[in-house]
Amino acid sequence: MNLTHLDERHRPKMVDVSQKTATIREARASGIITMSPAAYEAIVQEQVKKGPVLQTAIIAAIQGAKKTPDLIPMCHPLLLSGVQCDIEEQPRSHSFKLLVTVRLSGNTGVEMEALTGVSVGLLTIYDMVKAIDKAMVIGPVQLEEKSGGKSGDFRRTDP
């Protein structure tokens, strides 16, 4: 098995993408945070002492996508064209679903940036509401779809 992040002497390396063709690449990831009814209502009613939770989570998700190479050692620093975030309220399950779409024109994909954005956004919600509910659960965090690049398109097809 040929692992791309190891050199011939099995030392870690960052993959050289300089010979790859630059294309439009986009990735969308999602994640869910589930919480108590009290925590959910405090967020929806904007009664959390630390401020507007969902707006802050969106800003954090954008920041997380932009800072991915600072957190994930083998990720390339990328010039992102755009980061779009959406949060869906899910009142029946007392949860929020965060979707992050990242786009660029370049020679490597943006899946990790989308996944990192989701993770940081959800962790921000946890941080802002933990005084109300420390038992919140984050997950699953997953890639929903990606396009562009040599490996082609991917779209999750959950039953």
pLDDT reported for residue 120: 98
> From CA 155, how far away is CA 22, in angstroms rounded?
21
> What are the extents of the domains in the chain?
23-148
Render the burial of 81-92: b for 16+ CB within 10 Å, e for the rest. eebbbebeeeee
For residue 30, pLDDT over 80 is answered with yes
pLDDT greater than 70 at residue 159: no
Q: What is the CATH number of domain 23-148?
A: 3.30.70.640
- What is the tens place of the pLDDT at every residue in 38-77? 999 999 999 999 999 999 999 999 999 999 999 999 899 9
Mean pLDDT of the chain: 93
Q: Which residues contact 93 (CB under 8 A, 6 or more apart)?
A: 34
133 in active site? no
Catalytic residue selected from 7, 70, 86, 127: 127
Indicate the pLDDT class of residue 8, thresholds 50, 70 and 90.
confident
pTM attached to this predicted model = 0.92
Q: How far apart are CA 10 and CA 48, in angstroms?
A: 49
Q: Is the pLDDT of residue 110 over 90?
A: yes
